[in-house]
Amino acid sequence: MPELPEVETERGRLASRLQGRKLARVQIRDPRLTRPDDPTVVAAVLEGDRVAEVERRGKYLIVRLESERVLLVHLRMTGGFRYAPASHERAVLELDDGARIAYRDQRRFGTWQLLEREDAERHLDIRLGPEPLERGFTKAFLAGRLADRAAPVKAAILDQRTVAGLGNIYSDEALWHARIHPQRPAGTLSADEVAALREGIRKALRLGIRHQGADLGDGAYAGGRMQERFNVYGRGGEPCNRCGTPIEKIRVAGRGTWYCPTCQVNR
Ligand SMILES: [Zn+2]
């Protein structure tokens, strides 16, 4: 499932092809993509519009159009854009420069929502906290979101209103960087631990972006190299890169969770 680094990688690739281009022809082949809106209506409104910017917020791609409409794309499990014919094509964009961009999605959980600008902003604002790599993601903000919460810290940071764009992979990596056990009750973290967690989140996400996200071998995010750099995620039984202790796997908030029992003691 793509998280902030994978979506940011998609954004960069999409922006270089889409920004400034007119959508000459739009086909939406899967009605689930635009549900409850009629895909033929969405395609007809998109056709002829020009793309101003492609941005990202949390795990959403934001395609800003010259009409001031916004196409909000959420890739969910396996959504992604392809620049050559692909399997599981759910939509196709043909551009005024002759380029063809396919949206493929094997599991079909991805969504396209065409909204007016204000509606798109509202949609994002009620679902997402600050961008973790931007200035608004302060120690005070994170401390406030964790305070008085009995939930495991991992569950707390998976909440998109706390850390926009974080998911199962990068939360495990962030907690390892911060030396915090994933099951610690969120409200018990000290100020120093909150500061370490904020740094850990930012470090894990920056590494993911630098390595163009993670390719987990399912064909969804081919080309990423972050999977070779994981410190804990998916590494059960392998030695910790810091202390050599075998990495352990547990379940937290229903999610497979990897951590180092020596570096991340549950105090
Ligand atoms: Zn360790």
Q: pLDDT per residue over 18-70, tens digit each?
A: 999 999 999 999 999 999 999 999 999 999 999 999 999 999 999 999 999 99
pLDDT for the residue numbered 38: 97
Active-site residue flag, 5: no
> 190: exposed, middle or buried (C-beta count within 10 Å: 0-12, 13-18, 19+)?
exposed
Q: What is the pLDDT of residues 145-165, one digit of tens each?
A: 999 999 999 999 999 999 999
Centre of ligand 1 from the C-alpha of residue 157, in Å = 21
Tokens of 140: 């005070």
Q: What is the pLDDT of residue 217?
A: 76
17, 57, 59, 198: the active-site residue: 59
Contacts of 8 (CB under 8 A, 6+ apart): 56, 209, 213
Active site annotation includes 267: no
Q: Which of 3, 6, 10, 193 is catalytic?
A: 3
Q: Which amino acid is at 144?
A: G
CA of 265 to the centre of ligand 1 (A): 10
The rounded Å distance from CA 212 to ligand 1 centre is 25
User: Is 53 one of the catalytic residues?
Assistant: no
Tokens read off for 59: 């795990």
Instruction: Report, as an integer, the average pLDDT of 112-134.
Output: 98
- Mark whether 31 is an active-site residue: no
Q: Give the whole-number percent of the chain exceeding pLDDT 90.
A: 95
Catalytic hit among 76, 82, 127, 255: 255
Q: What is the pTM of this model?
A: 0.96
State the distance from the centre of ligand 1 to the C-alpha of 4, rounded, in angstroms.
25
Mean pLDDT of the chain: 96
Indicate whether 212 pLDDT > 70: yes
Residues paired with 7 in a beta bridge: none
Q: Output the pLDDT for position 219.
A: 66
